[in-house]
Amino acid sequence: MLNINSDKSSMKLVISLEGRLDTTSSPQLEEFIKKEVGNTKELVYDLKNLEYISSAGLRVLLSSQKIMNKQGAMVLKNVSEEVMEVFEVTGFADIFNIQ
């Protein structure tokens, strides 16, 4: 299960993810991004409460990155050790701006 919370102010969108970003829940995030990211210049993912990410979840984050490369910047914050390990093993740690 995945909970998506967001806070949009001006050109900045902060998305907080809680739970598991996997094959079952990634379409939910994908739909959310399509609706909300429109004229955003800065996209911030707060992953403090993200327990697990699968390849399907990585795909959604990568597609978010591609969108933001055209219109602004994307940052991942508060990445847990478990999720960071997935980023490092897959090489995504080199692609994403992780703070």
The set of residues, in sequence order, having a beta carbon less than 8 Å from that of 29 and lying 6+ positions away, is 2, 4, 17, 21, 57, 60
Q: Which residue has tokens 């979840």? A: 57
Q: Which are the contacts of 58, defined by CB distance < 8 A and separation ≥ 6?
A: 86, 90, 92
Q: What is the pLDDT of residues 20-74, one digit of tens each?
A: 999 999 999 999 999 999 889 999 999 999 999 999 999 999 999 999 999 999 9
If pLDDT is split at 50, 70 and 90, which confidence band does 3 have? very high
- Domains in the chain, ordered, with CATH? 2-94 (3.30.750.24)
Report residue 33: phi and psi, to 5°.
Answer: -60, -45
